[in-house]
Each structure stands twice: as C-alpha cells, then as structure tokens.
Amino acid sequence: MAVRPDQPPVPAFRADSSPERLADELLLTLARPRLTQEVCARVRDVLGTHGAGLDWGRFVDLAGRHGVLPLVGRNLIRHRLAQSDEGRPLAPYRWIYSYAYEGNRRRNQALADEYAKVLRAVDDAGIAYAIRKGQPLVDTVYGDPGARRVGDLDLLLRRDTLARVADALTDLGYAQGRQSQNGERIEPFDRRTQLFWRTKLTNVALPFVKLSHRDDVELFIIDPCTSLFQVSSGVEADVGDFLDRRVRRTVYGEPSFVMDRTDQLIDACVQLHVEATTLYYIEIGKDLTLLKFLELAELLRAADEDVAEEFRRRVDVYDCAGSVAWALHHTALLYPDAVPAALADGFPVADAATLDEYGAFDGQVHRWESDFTTRLFDPARNKDVTARSNVPGPRAAV
C-alpha cells in the first residue's frame, strides 16, 4: 500500500526520539494484545537508557484518551517491563498500571452481570439482534476480560422491533434520558433532542440508560442501532441481511448472537471512518482512538482468504469502499504488518485530499491543517475546529 509522503507511518520505538515522541512510540508499541520477546527486550533496553527522560505524564494521559490504559498496564506488569532484570524501576506509577487493569477487570464483570440480564430479556421476547463491537471484541481480540474497557451494549436490530426492545428494557429499569447533575436520577431528553434523533438519525435510537449505584460503573447503557451506515452516507443496506448472517456466540455467559466475521470487518471500517470525520465525535475527542485502529488491525490479522474475498464482495454490494479505503489506509500507517497489501490495493484512496477532510457526514466539509499522525497524538487537535455539530443530546463519556 502506498503511503503519502506527508503522512509517514508512525516510527518504531527508538532510543533517539524526543521525550514526547518516545512516549507516543511506547504507547503504540505496548498497545497490542500480544508482545513478542523481541519487543519486550527492546522496550526494556530503551527504557533502561532513556526512561528517565520520557514524558510519563503524556504517556499515561494518551493511554487513557486512546482507551488502551488497561491493555498497556497489563503488558507493563505482566511482562515485567516496569523494572529491569536487576529489579531497578524503569517506569514510574506502576500502581496506576496495575490498578487500571485490575479495576477494569472488576468493572467489566459488573457490566457482564447486568448485560446478561438484558440479553436474556431480549432473547425471551423473541427479538432478533446481533451484538456489535464491545464484548465480542474482548473475547476474540484480547481473550482477557480486563484488557479492554467496555462501556455500552451495542445491539443491531430491525427498526420494527424497537418498541418491543424498549418494553423489555423498561421492565429492567432502563429509560431513554441523561443522568442528572447529582447522579441520582435519569432525566428524559428534551423534546427537541427526541425529535432530532427520531427524524434525522434514523439508523440509531437514543440510548437506554440505568443507574448502577457503583463507583466503578456510572451507568449501564444500551445503544440500539438499526443500520451500520449513517443516513447521510447514502448507503442503503437491509439490516435483515446482517441479522440473517449473525452467528451464535456465548457472550456474558449467555447464548447470544454476534455479527459474522466479514460483517464485523465492515462495521469496524465504517465506524472508524465515521468517528474520525464526524463533528459529533471530534468535539468530544473521540474521533481518533488508537483502540479502534488496533481492533481493526487484529480483525484483519485473523481474516483468512475466504473472509477477505467475501469482504470485497460485500463492500461492493453496500457501496462503502470510500470508508473502507480510509480505514485501511490509516490502519496501515499504525500497523503496517496487519493490512495485507492485496486487500489494501483493492481499495485505493480515490482522492488523497479527502484523507484530511472532516465534516462530510455533517454536510459541511473542512480540512485539517495537520497530518494524521500529528493529530492522533495531539490531545488539543480540536482547538482548530470552528464548525460545530448540530446533533443535540448525549455525548459519549466512556
């Protein structure tokens, strides 16, 4: 896959990098489900020589922003990368990394106990569904309940079943609304928000939420979705196709359904492109998260040729090659070994200028002044964005 000169791949973890850059490269190196002995040895070597000058505050901040703090925490602790072979500390804040991982594992168990009830209720009501993202990725990509922070339960549904889903969730104590300022109740969304989501965002419904009364889980959140594609994308896809292809999987200890491997790939690519270029996500700093690129990379690694061939066919059917090309291009910058050249070459970027655009899904196209890798590691990247999302209502907090 050809890489644009102004968007070079993120370099490997090197001892001659600046303290800031060293933190960025360490994050990218550790944000993997599996580390080889060679990678672990290189991390110890560089930290042993230059760890004292590394910007550790930036490292911890970015790990949290990119959703990978539990994962990098686990890797630092499990592979004993925070200390030398002689036991000398190589990385400060060891307790932060262990608490992030262990605390996340306990948190995810609390989510599992609650979301299992939801899956049983939806199943008992005879409603067809498939779980998107979240826990299925924890199971297949990480195989470790503490390595990935989970927030909501994303359910792909037929639109004509939403009322029945709402009834099932209401019986479990869920409501469509936002948490009050004092955290003690759920307040209904205002009429304007309800009307906007009902008429403009017809591929999703307002989330159903429930107070957890726990310190480690602020809210239980159910996100209903009736199409993988934004209305403004122009893609017409029958959600029934995806539900017909769903596969049985035990999730949260319950017999459940998830999307098949090919549809998971399509979903990951489309969602990555939407989040990275939509004002709604840019405003809250969720437009570029390393976690999403990592998970697409791992799904690609696991895809055999049969899956890849079916992926090509379905992308053509749903006419979503633009989103796929964007996602593959940028994932290859971060994880070049994960994107097969044959697959990437099959989805060339039609116009390189579009790689730095945002706002198209909002109907107002703008261009970033900085390149992708600079933006990825810049927590203040949205300071230059003057356009505003017109979507009222909830903003992701997970």
Q: Is residue 17's pLDDT more than 90?
A: no
Rounded to the nearest 5 percent, the helix, strand and coil shares of the chain are: 50, 10, 35
User: Residue 16's pLDDT band (boundaries 50, 70, 90)?
Assistant: low
List the structure tokens of 250: 């035990």
Q: Is residue 1's pLDDT more than 50?
A: no
CA dist., res. 61 & res. 64, Å (int): 5
CATH 3.30.460 fits domain 107-258 = yes
Residue ranges of alpha helices (H) inside 51-83 are 56-65, 69-78
Q: Is residue 116's pLDDT more than 80?
A: yes
Whole-number pLDDT of residue 103:
97
Whole-number pLDDT of residue 19:
79
List the structure tokens of 299: 């799904």
CA dist., res. 82 & res. 93, Å (int): 9
Whole-number pLDDT of residue 398:
39
Tell me the average pLDDT across 48-71.
Answer: 94
In the chain, what are the domain boundaries? 19-92, 107-258, 260-398
First to last CA, the chain: 33
User: Residue 393's pLDDT band (boundaries 50, 70, 90)?
Assistant: confident
Contact 203, 157 (CB under 8 A): no
CA dist., res. 75 & res. 339, Å (int): 23
List the structure tokens of 330: 């940028």
How many H helices and E strands in the chain? 16, 10
Contact 391, 274 (CB under 8 A): no
Closest listed residue to residue 194, CA positions, set 179, 182, 176, 208:
176
Tens of pLDDT, residue by residue over 326-384, are: 999 999 999 999 999 999 999 999 889 899 999 988 889 999 999 999 999 999 998 88
Tens of pLDDT, residue by residue over 4-13, are: 333 434 445 5
User: Residue 2's pLDDT band (boundaries 50, 70, 90)?
Assistant: very low
List the structure tokens of 148: 């990935």
Tell me the average pLDDT across 192-212.
Answer: 91
Contact 217, 197 (CB under 8 A): no
Helix (H, G, I), strand (E, B) or coil at 187: strand
Closest listed residue to residue 150, CA positions, set 123, 130, 173, 132:
132
CA dist., res. 129 & res. 132, Å (int): 10
Q: Is residue 395's pLDDT more than 90?
A: no
Helix (H, G, I), strand (E, B) or coil at 201: coil
Q: Is residue 98's pLDDT more than 60?
A: yes
Whole-number mean pLDDT of the chain? 91
User: Residue 392's pLDDT band (boundaries 50, 70, 90)?
Assistant: confident
CA dist., res. 323 & res. 309, Å (int): 17
Whole-number pLDDT of residue 306:
95
CA dist., res. 38 & res. 382, Å (int): 37
Whole-number pLDDT of residue 3:
38
Tell me the average pLDDT across 151-158.
Answer: 97
Q: Which of 175-184, 219-228, 389-398 has the lowest mean pLDDT?
A: 389-398
List the structure tokens of 306: 């049969």
Kindly report the number of other CB atoms within 10 A of residue 184's CB atom. 9
Whole-number pLDDT of residue 15:
58
Helix (H, G, I), strand (E, B) or coil at 123: helix
Helix (H, G, I), strand (E, B) or coil at 29: helix
User: Residue 86's pLDDT band (boundaries 50, 70, 90)?
Assistant: confident
Whole-number pLDDT of residue 10:
47
On the 0-12 / 13-18 / 19+ scale of CB atoms within 10 A, 83 is: middle
Tens of pLDDT, residue by residue over 276-317, are: 999 999 999 999 999 999 999 999 999 999 999 999 999 999
**Could you tell me whether strands 219-225 and 153-157 are parallel, antiparallel, or unpaired per DSSP bridges?**
parallel
Higher-confidence residue: 396 or 393? 393
DSSP summary character for residue 370: S
